A and B are shown apart, each in its own frame.
Chain A
Amino acid sequence: MRYVYEGQSFSRSEAGDLMPVQLVRLFRDMLRIRRVEEAVEARYHEDQMKTPIHLVIGQEAICVGACSALEHRDLVYAGHRTHGVYLAKGGDLPAMFSEFFCRKNGCAGSRGGSMHLIDQRVGMAGSSAICGGNVPIAAGMGLAAQLLGLERVSACFFGDGAAEEGVIWETLNFAALKRLPSIFVCENNFFSVFTPLFKRQPEGAELWKKAESFGVTAEVVDGTNVLAVHAAARRAVARARSGGGPSFIEARAYRWRGHGGAGDDNHKGYRDPAELTLWQQHCPVERYYEWLLEAGHIAASERESMEREIDAEIAAAYQHAEQSPNPTRADLDTHVYAETGA
C-alpha cells in the first residue's frame, strides 16, 4: 500500500463555534452528494446521460467543507469533477440532471454536460475540463472583486494532476503578488486517471509546501474530515475578506471510483485494492455520522428521514429531467457571440 490514510478522528475543537444544526447540515450536504452520485452511477448504464461523468464519491468532505465556509455572493470555479462543488454551492439538482440528460433546461442549456456545470444563480461561475484551466480564471475573479471593491471571495477546486500544470504556479505567484481574495483548493486524490502520484511527482515534494514557497498561506488537511476542511476554509475566507491575500488548501482524500464513468476500476490493476478498502473505512460520510451520533447531535431516525427526503428529491429530479424537452436546431448556434449592450 502506497497511499494510506493519515488523518485522525474528529475532535470537538475542529467544530469550533459551529452550532449543532450547522454540524448536522454538513452531514446532510455530504449525504446528499453521496446519494446523488450513487443514483447517477446506478442509471449511467441506461445511456440516457450521454455525458462523461467524474464521480466525487469518497471526496465529499472537501467540496462540502469548503463551500460551507463561503457565502452565496462568493464564486466557485470547478475542474472536471463538478457535481460535488455545484451541489455544495447550492446547485439546482433538477437543472443538473437535466444537463446530464442533455435537455434544454439543463443548467448549461445542454452546452456543457457533467464537466461544465455553470450556474450564476448560485455563484457556480463555471468549471473547466482542462486541468488547471479554472485556476487563473478564479484568480481573475478575485482581482475583479478587488478592483470593483466587492466583498467577494473566489475559490477554485483542482486535483493533484492539475497541480502539475505550470499555470497553477503562475497563478499562485500573481495571487500572492496582488494579495487576491482567492482560495485554491487542491483535492489530492493521488491519481490522475490511472497514473498514481508517485509516477508524476517526486516523493516528499508536498503540494502545500510548494504553494507556501510562492508566498501563499498554505496548509494540508485530512480531506475525509469535513470539520477540518471547513475550519481551513474558514481561515482562508477570513484571510481573503480582511485583505490577507490568497490561501492554498491541500485536502487529501482517496478517489473511490475510476477517473471517469460509473463503478470501481480497481480490477484494471493500476492500484492496490487494499488501499481502497482502507480508505473506505475512513468514509467521510459515515465516520462523520458516527461522530455526530456519539456526540448526540443527530439521531438515527433523523438520518432515515433525511435519506427519504434526499431520495425523493433525486426521484423528482430524474423525473424532471426525463420529462424536459430536448434542445432544437434553433438552439445550436445561438450565443456564440454576445450582443454588446444587450
Chain B
Amino acid sequence: MPWAEALIAAKTRKIDVGEGRVLSYAEALNEALRTAMEMDPKVFVFGQGVDDPAASFGVTRELQEKFGRERVFDVPLSEEAMTGVCVGSAMSGCRPVMTHNRPDFILLSMNQLVTHAAKIHYMDEGRTRVPMVIWAAIGRGWGSGAQHSQAVQGMLLGVPGLKIVMPSTPADAKGLLLAAIADDNPVLVFEHRWLMREQGVVPEGFYTVPIGKGVYRRRGADLTIAGTSHAIALALDAAEALACEGIDAEVIDLRSVKPLDEAILFESVEKTGKLLVVDTGWAMGGVCAEVACRVAEQRFDALRAPLRRIGLPDVPTPAGHTLEQLYYPNAETIAAQIRAMCA
C-alpha cells in the first residue's frame, strides 16, 4: 500500500485531544479554503487536479461543487504561465490560491515567483500589491525519488518579498493558510504529505495563526530543537524517547521560515545553551543553515556546545526503499544527535 509508512506513523502518534473538535490536517486545510472562499468572493483556487477525485489529498474536496467552476478550476500543465496568471490576478484585485501537488513543480515557475511576484510591490514603491498563495505538499517515501520529494524552502529563503510558512499541526495548517490568504504578499505554504492524516483539535470558523511567529511544542531545559512541518513530528518523537533517559529537550515549532521568529529562538537558546535545527529540506544553505547562522551571529555567547543541524544530506533523494530509509532522518537519528550533544 502506498505511503504505508506515513499511515502507520499517523496512527501511532498520540492525538492531541484537548477540548474541541478533531479534524485531520487535510480536512483542516479544506475548511480553511472553504472559510476563505465564503468570506471573500475575490478568493479563488486553481491547480492541477483540484477538481479531480483525489482533490489534492482531499484539501480541495467539494470546493468546486460549492463555489463553482469559475472560482475552483483545474489548469493546463503550464506552471510558469499559471504562476504568472496568479500574479496578474493578484495585482488586479483577486486573492488567488495556486496549488501544486509537489513543490518540485514550483521549480518550473521560478521566473514568475522569484523575479516577478516577489519584486513587484517593491518595484512599484509599495503601490501595487501581490496577495497570492502558492501551496504545495512535500513528498516523502514510496519511491517519490529525486523529482517528487524535493523540499525547496531553502532555495526560496533568500528571496526578498516572499513569505514561507510550514505548519506542523492541523490547527496551524488551517490558521496559517487563512493568514496566508489574508496576507497582502506572495506567501508560499509548504505542507507535508506525511502530515495529511495527522489528527488534531481544530477551532471552528475563521482564525489566523500569525505568520512569522513560532511556538513551543515542548518545554525543556537541556537543549533546543527548532524546525517546522514534519521535522517537528520527528523531533517530538525523539524528545519523548529521550525523556526517560533524563534528557529534557525543548521543541520550538517555528511555523514560518520567512520571516523567522528570532525572538523565540533566542529566548530558548539563552536558556538551554544548545541548538539542534531540523528541517525537511537539505541542510546545506537552507533553513538549517540560516537558523543556525542567526543564532551563531547573535547569541554566540549563550551557546555551550556547537550548533548542530539535521536536514537532508547533500544528495538527491534516492527512489528505492532501502536507500530511502538510509537517506531520511528519523526520530532515532535525531535522538542519537541529541544524545551526542548532551553527553
Chain A residues close to B by CB (< 8 Å): 75, 77, 108-109, 111-112, 116, 118, 120, 125-126, 128, 130, 133, 135-148, 150, 152, 154, 166-167, 170-171, 173-174, 177, 334-342
19 further A-B contacts with Cβ under 8 Å, apart from A118-B123, A335-B125, are: A108-B124, A109-B124, A111-B124, A116-B123, A118-B128, A120-B128, A128-B116, A136-B88, A137-B87, A137-B88, A139-B88, A140-B86, A140-B88, A140-B89, A140-B90, A140-B96, A141-B92, A336-B122, A340-B185
**Shortest beta-carbon distance, B98 to chain A, in Å?**
10
- Closest-by-CB residue of B relative to A121 is B127
Cα A87 to Cα B89 in complex, Å, equals 24
A173 touches B78 (CB 8 A): yes
Q: B81 contacts which of A116, A144, A148, A171 (Cβ < 8 Å)? A: A171
A109 touches B125 (CB 8 A): yes
A136 with B82: in contact, given A144-B89, A174-B75, A340-B184 (CB under 8 Å)? yes
B228 CB within 8 Å of chain A: no
A111 CB contacts on chain B under 8 angstroms:
122-125
B78 touches A334 (CB 8 A): no
B49 CB within 8 Å of chain A: no
- Closest-by-CB residue of A relative to B121 is A338
**Shortest beta-carbon distance, A101 to chain B, in Å?**
16
A137 touches B94 (CB 8 A): no
Cα A116 to Cα B127 in complex, Å, equals 14
CB within 8 Å: A-B pair count:
159
- Closest-by-CB residue of A relative to B160 is A336
A146 CB contacts on chain B under 8 angstroms:
70
A137 touches B116 (CB 8 A): yes
Query: Binary interface profile of B, 70-96, with partner A (CB < 8 Å = 1, else 0)?
Result: 110001101011111111111111101
B115 CB contacts on chain A under 8 angstroms:
128, 130, 133
B84 touches A148 (CB 8 A): no
Cα A111 to Cα B78 in complex, Å, equals 30
A77 CB contacts on chain B under 8 angstroms:
88
Within 8 A of A (CB), among B165-189: 182-185
Cα A337 to Cα B94 in complex, Å, equals 18
A342 CB contacts on chain B under 8 angstroms:
184
B88 touches A154 (CB 8 A): yes
Could you write out 10 A-B pairs with CB less than 8 Å apart?
A120-B128, A125-B88, A136-B87, A141-B89, A145-B92, A147-B70, A170-B81, A177-B76, A338-B130, A338-B185
The 7 A-B residue pairs with the shortest CB-CB distance, nearest first, are A140-B88, A136-B84, A109-B125, A170-B81, A335-B126, A170-B78, A137-B88
Q: B129 contacts which of A145, A147, A338 (Cβ < 8 Å)? A: A338
B199 CB within 8 Å of chain A: no
Cα A130 to Cα B122 in complex, Å, equals 17
A137 CB contacts on chain B under 8 angstroms:
84-85, 87-88, 91, 112, 116
What range describes how many residues of B lie at the interface?
35 or more
B88 touches A141 (CB 8 A): yes
A334 CB contacts on chain B under 8 angstroms:
125-126
A148 touches B94 (CB 8 A): yes
Cα A337 to Cα B131 in complex, Å, equals 10
**Shortest beta-carbon distance, B66 to chain A, in Å?**
16
B325 CB within 8 Å of chain A: no
B194 CB within 8 Å of chain A: no
B75 touches A136 (CB 8 A): no
B42 CB within 8 Å of chain A: yes
A171 with B85: in contact, given A141-B92, A147-B70, A148-B42 (CB under 8 Å)? yes
B78 CB contacts on chain A under 8 angstroms:
167, 170-171, 173-174
Q: A143 contacts which of B89, B112, B125, B126 (Cβ < 8 Å)? A: B89
B121 touches A335 (CB 8 A): yes
Listed residue (B42, B85, B86, B125) with the most chain A CB atoms within 10 angstroms of its CB: B85
- Closest-by-CB residue of B relative to A139 is B85
Cα A118 to Cα B83 in complex, Å, equals 20
A140 touches B91 (CB 8 A): yes
Q: A147 contacts which of B44, B82, B125 (Cβ < 8 Å)? A: B44
**Shortest beta-carbon distance, B109 to chain A, in Å?**
9
Query: Binary interface profile of B, 101-123, with partner A (CB < 8 Å = 1, else 0)?
Result: 00000000001100110001111
A170 touches B184 (CB 8 A): no
Cα A90 to Cα B247 in complex, Å, equals 69
B120 CB contacts on chain A under 8 angstroms:
126
A143 CB contacts on chain B under 8 angstroms:
85, 88-89, 94
B161 CB within 8 Å of chain A: yes
B123 touches A108 (CB 8 A): yes
B127 CB contacts on chain A under 8 angstroms:
118, 120
Cα A144 to Cα B94 in complex, Å, equals 6
Cα A150 to Cα B93 in complex, Å, equals 10
B84 CB contacts on chain A under 8 angstroms:
133, 135-137, 139-140, 167, 171
A174 CB contacts on chain B under 8 angstroms:
75-76, 78, 81-82, 85
Cα A342 to Cα B131 in complex, Å, equals 13
B88 CB contacts on chain A under 8 angstroms:
77, 125, 136-144, 154
Cα A339 to Cα B129 in complex, Å, equals 10
A166 touches B94 (CB 8 A): no
B125 touches A108 (CB 8 A): yes
B82 CB contacts on chain A under 8 angstroms:
136, 170, 174
**Shortest beta-carbon distance, B125 to chain A, in Å?**
3
B128 touches A126 (CB 8 A): yes
